[in-house]
Structures are given as structure tokens and as C-alpha cells.
A = this chain, B = another copy of it.
Amino acid sequence: MKIVVDAMGGDFAPHNVVAGVVEAVKEYKVCVTLVGVSDSIEAELKKYQFPKNLIEVVHAPEVVAMDEPATVVIRQKRQSSIGIGIGLLKKEGYDAFVSAGNTGACVAGSTILLGMIPGVDRPGIGCIFPSLKKFTFVMDVGANTAAKPEHILQYARMAKVYAQAVLGRENPTIGLLNIGEEECKGTGLEQESHKLLEEKEPCFVGNLEANEVFTGKTDCIVCDGYVGNIMLKISEGLMESAGKLLKREITKNPIAMLGAVLLKSSLSAAKKSVDYSEYGGAPLLGVDGLVLISHGRSNPKAIKNAIRAAKEQVEHNVLKKIKEEMVKNV
């Protein structure tokens, strides 16, 4: 198995990416192909000890910046780490691509260079949200901000297969994100998606309000990518701000500071279960290849876990299973 990793992706590349890759190859014994500006990659690699046969470097002269438009990877920078990295998936022997770089560019690049799976019109990013019942798989969190009801149905089918194949839920339930439980609620998109899901997807259990996302009421949640992205980011921001606020209160009071010390292990356990870096990369589903997108702020642990997630997807044959599901409905 060979996982291709975008060495230039993310706010702290290539440093964090290379550090995460070195940890991953040691821990998971997986081969990684680092794509990017080879001099920079080699300079980082020199800092570590690792089995040399598990990491190869492929040079890509161009870099897509985090704030460049998505289309740049197709129009101007085909020789970027994203362009060349995704391209490798078309060759034999390369199994997945992981990037913490420009999300839009990864989506556009994957769509054009890999093409869509038959039966899927638009790719979607799936994301594991921690919940009281371990997790909820939410799709789409940002690939497609103009979803149509058919796309939502396709997301539901792909999310179902992912939940079964990778997350071990035998009969996953699927909810449609909405602002009320009644089927008349929401905009035209939600109303029509509700009808379509009810008619065509047996795992669909109805609308789900956002306050239920973290209770784990359903295994999967489908929504438009714009709303999904807002949900993901506000959750992240809220946890960060709540942590800061609590810290501010605690440091006002010495007794509370002692309490915080005693609470440390529980706080870390709770924090771990809501920490994005534990979950690694978010799969881009619908394109004809395994692509995982990591957080732009990924630390080495997040990169390592994204590689673990990629390995699991390869082992679970998720791409093949999604293709089989989608072709049934073409």
C-alpha cells in the first residue's frame, strides 16, 4: 500500500507534514510518497530517523497557496504538489492522497483529474463529528455549496457505505439537517431532499435539528456543503473559546486552579474525544480515487492520523464499495 501525501499542504508545511509522515511510517508500517518541493522535503527528512524504504519523495515545483482560487490547480498549477499528487492516484500502486492544503483546490483537482464515480454528480466531504454515541458522520462539510436534492441523496448513499465499511455501523441511520423536525421545514432544498430521501433511501429517518448533531441521534447527517462547513467551523471555534473562557475563570481563583489540576486527566480524555486531530483527514467522497483532506492547521499528530484513516479506507475497500452502491442506482 502506498499513501501519497501533499508535503506542501497546510499552514505549517512542510515541517508538520514531514514530522507526521515520519511518525506514521514508523507506527503503521505503510509506504508514503511525499510530493512537493524536493529540497525542502529532504531538508526536513534529514532531521529524523526512519526506515528509508518506507518514504519516497516526488518533486513538484509549484505550490498552491491556501488562499488561491480552487481552479488554480487546473488552470495554472498542474505541476503543484496537489496536481501531481492527485495525478499519481491514476497510476498503479498508489492508493490514497492526503492533503492539509487548499481544500477547494483538492476538490477541483480531484474532480477534474480523477473524474466522478458513475452515479455521483458532485463530490462531498465527509467529516466525523464526535458525539455522545461516539461519533456522527456529517456530509457535506464544504465541497459543494450549491447542493441539489439529488446530490443530498447521493451523499446519503455514500455516507451510509462509509459508516458501514469504515466505521462499523451495520445499519446506519441517516438524518437530514434542518431547522425543524417537520418535513415542511427549511428551504426548498430541504423540503425536496426530504421527499427524495424518503422515497429512495431506506436508511433515512427524517429531519434532524442541529442541536442533535452531538447527541448521536443518527449515525449520518446529510446537508449542503455551505451549512456543513459553517457547522464544522462554529463547533471548532466554540470549543476553543469555551476553553479559553474557562481558563480565564480558573486563573482568577487558586482553589479552582487546584481543582483543574485534579481534573486534568478527565479534561484531557474529554478533550481527546472532541479533538479534530484524533480523527485525521476527512474523506472526499464521490471522486474516483481515495482523497483525504486534513485541517489547514494540522499538527504532526493530525497528519499521522490522516494517514491512518487513509490506510483504513484502503483496507476496508471503501472506494470499491461506494462504486458498487452508486452503480446500483445509476
**A contacts, CB < 8 Å to B:** 67, 69, 131-132, 142, 145-146, 177, 179, 181-182, 184, 186-187, 209-215, 226-227, 229-242, 244-246, 248-250, 252-253, 255-256, 258-267, 269-270, 273-274
Secondary structure of the A side of the interface?
helix
- Which of B145, B179, B215, B239 contacts A179 (CB under 8 A)? B145
- Which of B181, B187, B213, B242 contacts A226 (CB under 8 A)? B187
Cross-chain contact B234 with A234 (CB below 8 angstroms): yes
Cross-chain contact B244 with A266 (CB below 8 angstroms): no
Among A69, A262, A265, chain B packs the most CB atoms within 10 A around the CB of A262
Contacts of A261 in B (CB 8 A): 259
Cross-chain contact A233 with B209 (CB below 8 angstroms): yes
Shortest C-beta distance, A92 to chain B (Å), equals 36
Cross-chain contact A211 with B187 (CB below 8 angstroms): no
Shortest C-beta distance, A212 to chain B (Å), equals 6
Cross-chain contact A256 with B245 (CB below 8 angstroms): no
Shortest C-beta distance, A210 to chain B (Å), equals 4
Cross-chain contact A263 with B270 (CB below 8 angstroms): no
Shortest C-beta distance, A175 to chain B (Å), equals 13
Compute how far the CA of A241 lies from the CA of B269 in the bound complex, rounded to whole angstroms.
Answer: 14
Compute how far the CA of A252 lies from the CA of B182 in the bound complex, rounded to whole angstroms.
Answer: 39
Cross-chain contact B263 with A226 (CB below 8 angstroms): no
Compute how far the CA of A139 lies from the CA of B264 in the bound complex, rounded to whole angstroms.
Answer: 38
